Structure 1
Amino acid sequence: MASFAAAETKGHGTNVRDATLRVSPGMNAEKLIRLERGRDLVILEQSNLDNQPWVKVYATIPQEERAPREITGWTTANGIVTASVPNGDQIIFGEAVDSENQAEQRGGRKGAAQDAMRLYYRLTEIFPNSSLAGESLWRSADIRWQLEKQDVLSRPSAREMDPDLRNPMDDRLMKEISKKYPHTRWSDLASYDLIDNKLCGEWKGLSKCPEKESDIYEHYAHEHPQSPKAAEALYNAAWRQAALVDIYRINNENDKVGNARKKASALAQEIASQYGSQGDWKPRALDLIYKLEQNVPVYGPQPE
């Protein structure tokens, strides 16, 4: 870890390890609070005690549905990264990635996803000109989005057809990405996540939702052709058109079946021809085309 000695007083920083805030320097001083990784810190003073560097910090800790908690105290300087620390952006990014990996492991560190979310965001604040800033803002926003999505989908309102009948995921950070990093990989990914707020909960066997969702995904793919999510968006559009073939048939709207089948095949063929090297989307598209040609249902009860 790079030395903290060069860090400027009143510098903005964050902690890449859990830290204990105390009323004064020294391991025997009274404890105030435990600071998880990635907290927003302002360095107020520096001191040395028993040949160990200490810093007095002002910490801001957000609280749900309440004003942020603001607290001042002392902690050991090791593990505190400010803009003056060499390779500080990479250090924060590395710890964020490690935390993200912890969150994905069975039995991983509790709160690791939130640690990663905070660390990525701190990097963008402390090192706004870093080559990692755009990706870090995206990663922070996506972790927050997925955590909120998990909560939203656990509620009864998640089963409603109309997405307006459930609480949406907070889209402010995603929109910030599009504003700060327009026409980039990160704004493309942010725009894709935003589609979640427009999707129905359950279709309930009706055509309204898949018709709307297919249009949304197709529009995204054509507006963001270079996006890492372009092929996936086209597949989602094609699959919904294929599902409409079955829905129209079940609901005796046979006059609409042909157009849906044609649209689904065209979208799937677009994937196969334009995104053949992107993951497994080409074989999945060809599978969908085969099912359409063979009248194999993709939605609803499967015939024996």
Structure 2
Amino acid sequence: MQIFSIRRCAALSVGVVMLTAGVTALGQKKGKGQDYDRTAIATVLHDANVYVASDADAQKISLVTPGHEIQIVERSGPWVKVFANTDINDAANEDDSSKPIFGEDANVMPASGWIRDKGILGPATASGDVILFGSAANFEDEAERPHAPKGAAASAHLLYKRVAEYFPSSPLAGEAAWRAADIRWQLDKLDVSTLPSAKEQEAYLRPQIYEGELKKVMKVYPGSEFAARAAFDLLDNKLCGDWQGLPKCPEMETGLYVKYAQQYADGPKAAEALYNAVYRQGVVVTMYLVQEDKKKSDEAAKRMQALAMDLKSRYPKSEFAARGESLAFRVSQGIPIYGSDRD
């Protein structure tokens, strides 16, 4: 399974502005409660122009991009009359922290018009969950490439989201919900990382990444690997920005990762969490040496060795176990793993 990482998100930042927008809701749109008409909603798998009339020569009034929602009003031959982009107010109603920090606001407004009857998919479409998931995965793949198409990440996010919304009983629903939430998280994380406040030591001194989608994954799919992955992402909001050469932060973060590994011991990110704890204790060893506090440095070295041994015993086949053992060996040889390691 492909998972976005902050190292790969540079190519995705162009898509973040498509994830949120502040607009006024259309009166015709119903809330997604019991009265929500699932037979009328759908999304598109490609860019679809909205025309004032069912004529290719008519004026274009809007554009529906992949994953955004439409409400079908009527059909006429190869044309469909719709209320387009009726979902953009959903994001506007979320917590203010979900709004993009940089970039232009989305200019697309809900509009009534006609689109061509192709590439439209709704809850009643046969194999719709597979088609949506595959389309989202293709956009995700494009977003990870150099010179990624504009909006590819946003389209992947929304199409994955539609899998979980339209097909909640699908075996793909859990993974789709997780992927949608993770893509948004990584984009927002990248956005926050460009702020001057990103280097603040304390997490509360920088904007928090929006947690709503990840927390929903944990609520809807408790005990699943996707809930464990979501919980791992959420740790980002608790980490320090810049350690500033002081042991306070890596010490605190060690505790966060150890606690996570204990809580999600059988999850897919447990080994990585323990490795992160090993690395941070190795950093602490160096920091205390710089402060000429050999006693605390030795204590950190002992804790690092214990964590590395625990990692190896619990996840012996994991790459992170080997990486942790390598770090522990370096520290035992007096080689710093933070700062310069040249003698």
Q: Do both share a fold (TM > 0.5)?
A: yes
Aligned-pair distance for 1:9? 8.8
Distance across 2 between alignment mates of 1:9 and 1:184: 27
The alignment partner of 2:210 has SS state of coil
Once the two structures are TM-superposed, the CA of residue 174 in structure 1 deviates from its matched residue by 0.8
Q: Provide the alpha-carbon RMSD of the alignment.
A: 1.9
Matched, 1:42 2:82: no
Alignment map for 1:153-164 (pairs within 5 Å): 153-164=193-204
Q: Name the counterpart of 1:282.
A: 321
Does residue 271 of the first structure (1) align with residue 311 of the second (2)?
yes
CA distance in 1, matches of 2:82, 2:184: 29
Say which of 36, 59, 62 aligns to 1:33: 62
Higher strand share: 1
Alignment of 1:1-304 (within 5 A): 10-48=39-77, 52-60=78-86, 61-62=88-89, 69-278=109-318, 280-304=319-343
| Counterparts in 2 of 1:218 and 1:286: CA distance versus 1, 3 Å | same
Determine which structure has more spread, i.e. the larger CA radius of gyration.
1
**What SS class does the counterpart of residue 69 from structure 1 fall into?**
coil
Q: What are structure 1's unaligned runs of at least 5 residues?
A: 1-7
Runs of 4+ in 1 over 4 A off after TM superposition: 62-68
Shift of 1:85: 1.0
- Structure 2 runs not aligned, ≥5 long: 1-36, 93-98
Q: Deviations over 1:173-226 (max 9, x none)?
A: 111111111110110000000011111111111111011000001100111012
SS in 1 for 2:109: strand
Q: What letter corresponds to residue 299 of structure 1 in structure 2?
A: Y
Partners of 1:303 and 1:163 lie apart in 2 by 32
Amino acid at match of 2:298: G
Shift, 1:29, TM fit: 1.9
- Within 1, Cα distance between the matches of 2:312 and 2:184? 33
1:84 shift after superposition: 1.3
**Quick one: higher RCO (CA 8 Å, sep 6+), 1 or 2?**
2
Alignment length (residue pairs):
293
* Contact 1:12-1:126 at 8 Å conserved across structures: no
Q: Distance in 1 between matches of 2:163 and 2:113?
A: 22
